Amino acid sequence: MKIYAVKTLDISEGNLEKICLLIHLEKRCKIQKFINKKDKVRTLIGEILIRTIIFEELSIRNKHLTFEKNQYGKPYFKGHPKFNFNISHSGDFVVCAIDDKSIGIDIEKVKHIEYKEIAKSFFSLSEFNYIVKEDLNIQLSKFYEIWTLKESYIKCSGQGLSIPLKSFSIDIDQYENIKVIIDKEHKEYVFKRFDIGSGYKMAVCSVNKEISNNIIMIDQNSLINKFRGLI
């Protein structure tokens, strides 16, 4: 297992268009539809990040890569069942986790939102209580902690939002052990939380027994230059 992170930087419109010409047409069209420039940059960086990782791990060049999606929309690398990946982005970060089994990763920039109303609608009662039992000044942080853990689980399962968020519960005990509970049963998933930067929450979910502690930080410009060299 490896976990990667790129802190995104602004890209000029001209360079953005040039780099987009190097990626698959379907993804290029998706990027062009975004109105917010940051959404364009994050999606583009996520695309070239996974393509560069695949070259480094499997020595397969960009033109030979074929991605498909399962019935729930989760992308996978066709023909390589032991290479699993998941990408997430928020704010100034794009993150990616790879593993030989299914993996899920989620990062969220902490924003001041009506977290209690969201938690009441989408979280289990025990998750809601986990948040509101804390001092008011850390409740928002606890909300995002649960949110990223739940998102990482549904992404790892490969079923995404087809799984109702209230149908399972993230349980964090007094020793900070994390479990997912479905129908009162503990399921065999492993979780880890990460402090990747001030104002962000990140979580990884795996079906393997251990999750790497290390985050491989990649400079955006170095990544773009390396990707150009693979074309």
Q: Which domain holds residue 205?
A: 2-230
CATH code of the domain in which 80 resides:
3.90.470.20
Instruction: Indicate the pairing of strand 215-218 with strand 200-206.
Output: unpaired
What are the structure tokens assigned to 215, written together? 């985050």
Exposure letters 61-81 (e unless 16+ CB within 10 A, then b): ebeebebeeeeeebebbeeee
Q: Hey, is 142 helix, strand or coil?
A: helix
- Predicted model pTM: 0.93
Q: What is the average per-residue pLDDT within 34-43? A: 94
Q: Give the pLDDT score at 9.
A: 95
Rounded Cα distance, 24 and 119, in Å = 38
Interval 151-172: pLDDT, tens: 999 999 988 777 889 889 999 9
User: In percent, how much of the chain has pLDDT > 70?
Assistant: 100
Asked if 50 and 96 count as a contact pair (C-beta separation under 8 A), the reply is yes
Residues in the chain: 231
